[in-house]
Structures are given as structure tokens and as C-alpha cells.
């Protein structure tokens, strides 16, 4: 079970759920608009193989945007709507609260923007409606619309980070579903980042929420990515994440040793739809 913390930030109280041994390296997550860590990252972190890759190697700090917690009451209308700068500052406050230094970050869409902005400041379809879409619709009905609107307002007022991306020294692994409406944006983003530090993974048969739709497809790229940091330690009690995947999930010729230890060039995963 996670340890639930209420963290006082400069822009209000934030809910942070902590999984694992706090002596391990830190992994910070931030969900997309209208989601919280359960609805955005449950598929990835409940995947048995993810325990070997993530929970075995990291202490995970799930940040939930204000008002997105389960059962959250409406935020009073007289409370100012935060800016994206405020949201990034909240991430910094979370790190200060837990006395964290260097961290790994995992964000989805709007959450990825917030964590990217934080890194800059701090560090320098057409398919039939799937069960996941239906689940998200159900979750949206449960969420306080006014609270979601507050977060959406902050994201809609975001400033363009494009020009600053070349200066971003954080190594970055970008996942995008081949059917995602943000596919073009993800590809464009990789052209703006320093190619020595950036890699793109396109996940087949997937929309915009890779962490829920195809969590298995994330494991091998993340394993190689973490190896580049020296942070991946195979569990003695768990099998490697590769053991349950087809060895042809990623072509060996697409991997070449570069600045990330083993860098992933722009690739497509190969997931069997009949599995």
C-alpha cells in the first residue's frame, strides 16, 4: 500500500502517493488532465513485469493535481487558478518536502509538459471505443468538472517551450501511440530536442494513453534507458521484463551505444494483436 502525503506547496496542498523504499532513487509521475495516478498509471504499475523494472529500482512518488483526488470536493471559486509556472513550482516543492535531489520523471501529455517545464526551471483515433476509453469516460463523470477546468485553464495558458528544448540536458524517452492525436506533435518534439539525449518510441495499436493501453511495450525501452543511468538492477526475485515479451519486440539493429548507454533510435514496437 502507498504512503499518502499531503504536501504544503506555495500554491496549496498537493496529494503525493509514495510507493517503495525511500532510500532508492526517486521516480516522479504526473498524470494527464482529469486523471490521477490510479487512472493514468495503474496499467503500467500493476503490470507484473513493471515491478521488476520500476518498483524494484525506484521509490515512486505519484503527484496528483489539486482537485483530482478520488472524492475531491470542488475547489472554491475564489482560489486563484494556478499557472503552469505554479504547477512546476509545486513539483519543486514536492522534491524539497521529501529532500530529493536528482529524480527521474514520468508524465503523460499535460503531465509531461509540467515535468518538462519543471526540468527546465529546476535543472537549468479512429478505432472503436475501447474499454480504456469507456473507463476514462466513467472516471471523468466522477471527477469534479470545476476542478478539471482549473487544471485545463493552466495548461491552455502554457507558454511555448520549443526554443528552450535544445538547452535541456535531461535525457528524454518519448512514447507515443501510433493512433494518438498527438503523434505529429511527439515527432516534432524529438526534432527540437538535442538528439544526443532524446529517443522516440512509437507504440503500435495504441492511442494517447500508452501507460494504460500498452504498458508492456514500455518495459524494454525503459530498461535500456535506465541502464544508461546505471539505475537498472535486475531483481533476484523477479524475472526480467523481457521474459514475457516477444524477443522481436524491438529490432536489435535499432539499438546503438551512445550517450544514453544504449540509445533508442526512432522505432516502432511490434506488439502482436493476437497475444
Q: Which tens digits make up the pLDDT trace of 144-188?
A: 888 888 999 999 999 999 889 988 888 899 999 999 999 999 999
Q: Which residue has the higher pLDDT, 135 or 25?
A: 25
Rounded distance, CA 252 to CA 250, Å? 6
Rounded distance, CA 47 to CA 29, Å? 16
Q: How far does Cα 201 stand from its chain's mean position? A: 14
Q: Which tens digits make up the pLDDT trace of 225-248?
A: 888 888 877 766 544 444 333 333
Is residue 51's pLDDT more than 80?
no
Q: Bridge-partner residues for 177, per DSSP?
A: 203
Q: Bridge-partner residues for 264, per DSSP?
A: 255
Q: Please name the residue ranges forming H helices in the chain.
A: 37-45, 48-50, 84-97, 110-123, 131-142, 145-156, 162-165, 183-192, 210-213, 216-227
Q: Which tens digits make up the pLDDT trace of 60-98?
A: 999 999 999 999 999 999 999 999 999 999 999 999 999
pLDDT, residue 236, reads: 60
pLDDT, residue 197, reads: 84
The stretch 105-109 carries a mean pLDDT of: 96
pLDDT, residue 128, reads: 54
Contact call for residues 5 and 55 (beta carbons, < 8 A): no
pLDDT, residue 125, reads: 33
CA-nearest of 24, 172, 11 to 98 is: 24
Share of the chain above pLDDT 90, in %: 49
Q: Name the 3-class secondary structure at 242.
A: helix
The stretch 35-41 carries a mean pLDDT of: 94
Rounded distance, CA 92 to CA 118, Å? 7
What are the phi and psi torsion angles at 15 (to 5°)? -90, 130
CA-nearest of 213, 170, 166, 169 to 190 is: 166
Rounded distance, CA 201 to CA 164, Å? 22
Average pLDDT score over the chain: 82
Amino acid at each position: 500500500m502507498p504512503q499518502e502525503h499531503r504536501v504544503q506547496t506555495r500554491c496549496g496542498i498537493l496529494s503525493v502517493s509514495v510507493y517503495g523504499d525511500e532510500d532508492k532513487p526517486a521516480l516522479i509521475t504526473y498524470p494527464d488532465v482529469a486523471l490521477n495516478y490510479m487512472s493514468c498509471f495503474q496499467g503500467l504499475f500493476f503490470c507484473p513485469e513493471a515491478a521488476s523494472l520500476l518498483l524494484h529500482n525506484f521509490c515512486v512518488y505519484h503527484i496528483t493535481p489539486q482537485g483530482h483526488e478520488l472524492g475531491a470536493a470542488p475547489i472554491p471559486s475564489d482560489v486563484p487558478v494556478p499557472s503552469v509556472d505554479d504547477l512546476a513550482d509545486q513539483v519543486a516543492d514536492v522534491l524539497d518536502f521529501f529532500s530529493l535531489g536528482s529524480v527521474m520523471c514520468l508524465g503523460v501529455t499535460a503531465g509531461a509538459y509540467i515535468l518538462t517545464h519543471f526540468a527546465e526551471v529546476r535543472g537549468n483515433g479512429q478505432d472503436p471505443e475501447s474499454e480504456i476509453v469507456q473507463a476514462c469516460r466513467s472516471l471523468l463523470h466522477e471527477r469534479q468538472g470545476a476542478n478539471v477546468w482549473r487544471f485545463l485553464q493552466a495548461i491552455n495558458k502554457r507558454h511555448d517551450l520549443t526554443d528552450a528544448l535544445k538547452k535541456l540536458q535531461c535525457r528524454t524517452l518519448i512514447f507515443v501511440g501510433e493512433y494518438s492525436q498527438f503523434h505529429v506533435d511527439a515527432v516534432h518534439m524529438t526534432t527540437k530536442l538535442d538528439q544526443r539525449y532524446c529517443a522516440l518510441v512509437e507504440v503500435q495499436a495504441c492511442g494517447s494513453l500508452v501507460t494504460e493501453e500498452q504498458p508492456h511495450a514500455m518495459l524494454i525501452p525503459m530498461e535500456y534507458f535506465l541502464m544508461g543511468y546505471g539505475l537498472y538492477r535486475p531483481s533476484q526475485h523477479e524475472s526480467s521484463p523481457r521474459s514475457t515479451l516477444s524477443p522481436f519486440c524491438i529490432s536489435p539493429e535499432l539499438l546503438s551505444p551512445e550517450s544514453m548507454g544504449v540509445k533508442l533510435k526512432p522505432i516502432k514496437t511490434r506488439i502482436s494483436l493476437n497475444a
